[in-house]
Amino acid sequence: MASRSVPGLLLETLKDLGKSDLKEFQWHLINGGVLDDCCSIPKARLECAEREDTVDRMVETYMEKGAVKITLAILKVMKQNNLAKDLNDKYTALAGGPGHVGVAGAGRGSSAVQPITISAQNGSYAFCPIVTGNTVAGSINFPTGPAASQLPRS
């Protein structure tokens, strides 16, 4: 039976990997470098992890869409192209639309993480929303100095 959740799809995919392939997959998660914008998962979090634990760590670290994206990238590095294609096809069907992971708006129902850039230059101000309960995969720059601590005066 086809899975109706992203974690379920990821688990189905990891179940198709043998023990040594799973170990290599986890090695890529620990050592990073597969995708430039993805951080690694600490070794202690995956050291004795079963497939289910690995899926949980990926979703916690990368969110659902990011977990699919990193899984596809690692599978391609491992030359598991058929498995990557199957995951991409199932994810596209689950998300409800055409496209593939990595394309903005790849379908309804996906928990897409959209990158944002907010900047203020030359003495201007940026009023940003308060962000809570999120995972950041990438860099955040908080400038320091007199201009960074000033608020506009009414």
Instruction: List domains and CATH numbers for the chain.
Output: 6-95 (1.10.533.10)
In angstroms, what CA-CA distances link 104 with 65, 87, 112, 114, 130?
Answer: 11, 18, 8, 8, 23
In angstroms, what CA-CA distances link 74 with 9, 46, 53?
Answer: 15, 16, 17
What pLDDT is recorded for position 122?
63
User: For the chain, first and last CA: distance in Å?
Assistant: 61
> Burial code of 62-80, b = ≥16 C-beta within 10 A, e = fewer?
bbbbbbbbbbbbbbeebeb
Instruction: Give the number of other CB atoms < 10 A from CB of residue 11.
Output: 16
Listed in sequence order, the residues at least 6 apart from 76 whose beta carbon sits closer than 8 Å to its beta carbon are: 84
Q: How far apart are CA 86 and CA 76, in angstroms?
A: 12
Token duo for residue 130: 């308060």
Answer whether 107's CB lies under 8 Å from 91's CB: no
Instruction: Output the tens digit of pLDDT for each of the chain's 154 residues.
Output: 567 899 999 999 999 999 999 999 999 999 988 887 778 999 999 999 999 999 999 999 999 999 999 999 999 999 999 999 999 999 998 877 554 454 333 333 444 444 555 566 666 666 555 555 566 666 666 555 554 444 444 4
Burial zone of 137 (CB within 10 Å; 0-12 exposed, 13-18 middle, 19+ buried): middle
Find, among 126, 154, 124, 122, the residue nearest to 140 by Cα: 126
Find, among 70, 66, 61, the residue nearest to 112 by Cα: 66
